[in-house]
Amino acid sequence: MSSKLTPTLRIGQGYDSHEFKPGIPLIIGGVKLAHDKGLGGHSDGDVLLHAITDALLGAIAGPDIGSLFPPSDPQWKGADSAVFLREALKRVRVAGYELVNLDSTLILAAPKIGPHAGAIRKRVAELCAVPENCVGVKAKTPEGTGTENAAIAHVTVLLQRG
Ligand SMILES: [Zn+2]
């Protein structure tokens, strides 16, 4: 990742999903939410930070999160997903870019994200070092998709050459 990439702007898209499991904390966008279930799987299961990480890596045509941090590697079990996001942001800088804004859509049946959207936007903005008004957090319920026991995140990022 030493050579500088050329376009002035680059767009990135990220997607992730995790299954709800009882008895573990629910962390979305680096914020712990009160709920009777959390998200299992890779690391702390932070579906939003994983999708942001992949969107950033995709924008610079880098390797994806699973290649950099294999779920099979025990060192990432229960890991703080901010570690993955920081690595992606570092790679963005090395490639000669900075994050302009990001937008996200969360799809989950519960808990309601609306009351926590402000806290999630604030934390994601801190982690990404962008103003809060450059972080979009929207939430939908999984109408007709049959994914009631999962949390899904879609993320788009815009980078500009720094
Ligand atoms: Zn994930």
Q: What is the pLDDT of residues 93-132, one digit of tens each?
A: 999 999 999 999 999 999 999 999 999 999 999 999 999 9
pTM of the model: 0.96
| Residue 96 alpha carbon to ligand 1 centre in Å | 26
CB distance 52 to 104 below 8 Å: yes
C-alpha of residue 127 to centroid of ligand 1, in Å: 17
Distance 48 CA to ligand 1 centre (A): 8
Q: Note the pLDDT tens digit of each residue in 17-57.
A: 999 999 999 999 999 999 999 999 879 999 999 999 999 99
Check: CB of residue 99 under 8 Å from CB of residue 14: no
Alpha carbon of 66 to ligand 1 centroid (Å)? 9
Are the C-beta atoms of residues 155 and 104 closer than 8 Å to each other? yes
Report pLDDT for 3: 57
Distances (CA, A) of 81 to 71, 126, 157: 12, 14, 18
43 Cα to the center of ligand 1, angstroms: 8
